[in-house]
Structure 1
Amino acid sequence: MTIALQDQADVHIALGHAPIGAMIIDQAGVISWANPALAAILGESDPAALRLTLAFAWLPEDDAEILRQMLEVFFAAPLEARPPWSRAVAIQGLESNPQTVEVTLAPCPGDFGARAILYFQSLTRQVIAEKRFSQIFENLPLGALVVDTRQRIVQVNSALSAEFGYPREELVGQPLETLLPARYRELHREHVEGYVAAPASRMMGSGRDLTGLHRSGQEIPVEIALTKLENGAQPMFMAIVSDISSRKRAETALQQTNSQLEEFTYVASHDLRSPLRGIADLVTWIREDLSGVALPEDVQHNFDRISLRIARAEQMIDDLLDYARAGVRDRHMETISPAELVDEALGLALVPDSFMVEIDMNGSDITAPRAPLATSLRNLIGNAVKHHGGRSGRIRIAMREEGRFSVFTIDDDGKGITPGNEERIFKLFHRASPGTSGDGVGLAFTRRMINAHGGMVTVCSPGALGGATFEIHWPRILLKEYEDE
Structure 2
Amino acid sequence: MTITVDSLAETHAALQHAPIGAAILDRTGVISWANPALGSIVGETDATALRLSLITVWFETEEGDALLQMIESHFDALPETRVPWSRAINFSRRDGAEQPCEITLVPCTAAFDQWAILYVKSLAQLTLAEKRFTQIFENLPLGLLVIDGRQRIVQVNSALADEFGYAREELVGRSLEMLLPERYRASHAGHVEGYTRAPESRAMGSGRDLTGRHRSGREIPVEIALTRLETVAQPLFMAIITDISKRKRAQMALEQTNTQLEEFTYVASHDLRSPLRGIGDLVSWIREDIGDEHLSDGVKHNFDRISLRITRAEQMIDDLLTYARVGVRDPHMETIDPAKVIEEAVSLANVPNGFTVDIDVSGSRFSAPLTPLATSLRNLIGNAVKHHGGESGMIRITMHDEGRFAVFTVNDDGRGVTPGNEERIFKLFHRASPGTSGDGLGLAFTRRMINAHGGMITVQSPGALGGASFEIHWPRILLKEFEDD
Q: Does 1:21 align with 2:21?
A: yes
Partner of 2:183: 183
Give the 3 Å change call, closer, same or farther, for CA 133–288 of structure 1 in structure 2: same
Deviations 1:442-470 (A, max 9, x none): 11111110111111112222223322222
Partner of 2:11: 11
Moved more, 27-36 or 184-193: 27-36
1:33-112 matches, within 5 Å, as 33-44=33-44, 50=50, 53-64=53-64, 66-67=66-67, 70-71=70-71, 74-75=74-75, 77-112=77-112
Q: How far off is 1:81 after superposition?
A: 3.9
Q: Helix, strand or coil: the match of 1:134?
A: helix
Deviations 1:395-426 (A, max 9, x none): 33332332222222222222222111111111
> Any conservation in 2 of the 1:84–1:107 contact (CA below 8 Å)?
yes
| Paired AA for residue 472 in structure 1 | I
Moved more, 261-270 or 304-313: 261-270
| Paired AA for residue 478 in structure 2 | L
Partner of 1:390: 390
Partner of 1:411: 411
CA distance in structure 2 between the partners assigned to 1:33 and 1:466 by the alignment: 81
Q: How far off is 1:52 after superposition?
A: 5.4
Count of residue correspondences: 485
Partner of 2:328: 328
> Any conservation in 1 of the 2:23–2:118 contact (CA below 8 Å)?
yes
CA distance in structure 1 between the partners assigned to 2:465 and 2:168 by the alignment: 61
Q: How far off is 1:175 after superposition?
A: 1.8
> Any conservation in 1 of the 2:22–2:117 contact (CA below 8 Å)?
yes
1:183-332 matches, within 5 Å, as 183-291=183-291, 294-332=294-332
CA distance in structure 2 between the partners assigned to 1:344 and 1:12 by the alignment: 82
> Any conservation in 2 of the 1:43–1:96 contact (CA below 8 Å)?
no
CA distance in structure 2 between the partners assigned to 1:53 and 1:357 by the alignment: 86
> Any conservation in 2 of the 1:5–1:110 contact (CA below 8 Å)?
no
Moved more, 219-228 or 319-328: 219-228
Moved more, 377-386 or 51-60: 51-60
Q: Helix, strand or coil: the match of 2:242?
A: strand
CA distance in structure 2 between the partners assigned to 1:172 and 1:407 by the alignment: 50
| Paired AA for residue 426 in structure 1 | F
| Paired AA for residue 351 in structure 1 | V
TM-score, normalised on structure 1? 0.92
Moved more, 393-402 or 212-221: 393-402
Q: Helix, strand or coil: the match of 2:443?
A: helix
| Paired AA for residue 220 in structure 1 | I
Q: Helix, strand or coil: the match of 1:117?
A: strand
| Paired AA for residue 126 in structure 2 | Q
Q: How far off is 1:194 after superposition?
A: 2.4
Q: Helix, strand or coil: the match of 1:111?
A: helix
> Any conservation in 2 of the 1:323–1:445 contact (CA below 8 Å)?
yes
| Paired AA for residue 399 in structure 2 | M
> Any conservation in 2 of the 1:6–1:109 contact (CA below 8 Å)?
no
Identity of aligned residues (%): 69
Q: Helix, strand or coil: the match of 1:88?
A: strand
CA distance in structure 1 between the partners assigned to 2:401 and 2:95 by the alignment: 58
CA-based RMSD of the aligned residues comes to 2.4
| Paired AA for residue 384 in structure 1 | A
TM-score, normalised on structure 2? 0.92
Q: Which stretches in structure 1 are left out of the alignment for 5+ residues?
A: none
Moved more, 255-264 or 170-179: 170-179
Q: How far off is 1:195 after superposition?
A: 2.4
Partner of 1:156: 156
Q: How far off is 1:430 after superposition?
A: 0.7
Give the 3 Å change call, closer, same or farther, for CA 305–204 of structure 1 in structure 2: same
CA distance in structure 1 between the partners assigned to 2:373 and 2:136 by the alignment: 43
CA distance in structure 1 between the partners assigned to 2:84 and 2:184 by the alignment: 46
CA distance in structure 2 between the partners assigned to 1:344 and 1:33 by the alignment: 84
CA distance in structure 1 between the partners assigned to 2:406 and 2:263 by the alignment: 34
Q: Helix, strand or coil: the match of 2:138?
A: helix
Give the 3 Å change call, closer, same or farther, for CA 190–459 of structure 1 in structure 2: same
| Paired AA for residue 323 in structure 1 | Y
> Any conservation in 2 of the 1:44–1:94 contact (CA below 8 Å)?
yes
